[in-house]
Amino acid sequence: MKTVMFLNGPNANLYGLDPNGTYGTDSFPQIEAACIARAEALGFKLDFRQSNHEGVLVDWIQEARQTCDGLMINGAGLSYTSVAILDALLAFDGPIIECHMSNIWKREPFRHHSYISKAATGVIAGLGLQGYLLGLTAMQSMLADDAA
């Protein structure tokens, strides 16, 4: 069975708790459960993780080189700063989908440039949990194309 790692960066564990609703109303455990269920329905295993630490995310991306066929990543605040995460992603040989819950281009200018995008096969932003689920569908299709 194909395996996809879904990495979430700093503060993603607080989704659903923001009184402004920037990241929707679903809690992080609810988002995780919905993504795992969708991946199972699509026929692949999802390894869903979150860390507030850049080096941990780099280690996990390197681990994915050995264990995973595709990567989904919401680098959160590290998207705009981390050359280290970009370099780790560039060393990953497989499809990479960058996801953001919010529409980052509608927000402050410092959120308009993501280093991660340079390594991403595609980017989904602004659709909340729905975007994550659409990303999983796109991933399944890309992995099926790879197998053909």
Q: Which positions touch ligand DHK (CB under 6 A)?
A: 11, 23, 74, 76-77, 100-102, 104, 111
- Which C-beta is closer to ligand DHK: that of 3 or that of 16? 16
Out of 15, 23, 115, 132, pick the active-site residue. Answer: 23
Among this protein's residues, is 23 annotated catalytic? yes
Q: Are 114 and 79 in contact (CB under 8 A)?
A: yes
- Which C-beta is closer to ligand DHK: that of 23 or that of 92? 23
Among this protein's residues, is 100 annotated catalytic? yes
- Which C-beta is closer to ligand DHK: that of 45 or that of 126? 126
Pull the structure tokens for residue 48: 């869903």
Please state at what angle helix 128-147 crosses helix 28-42, rounded to 10 degrees: 30
What separation in angstroms does the CA of 54 have from each of 74, 78, 81?
Answer: 12, 7, 10
Catalytic site residues? 23, 100
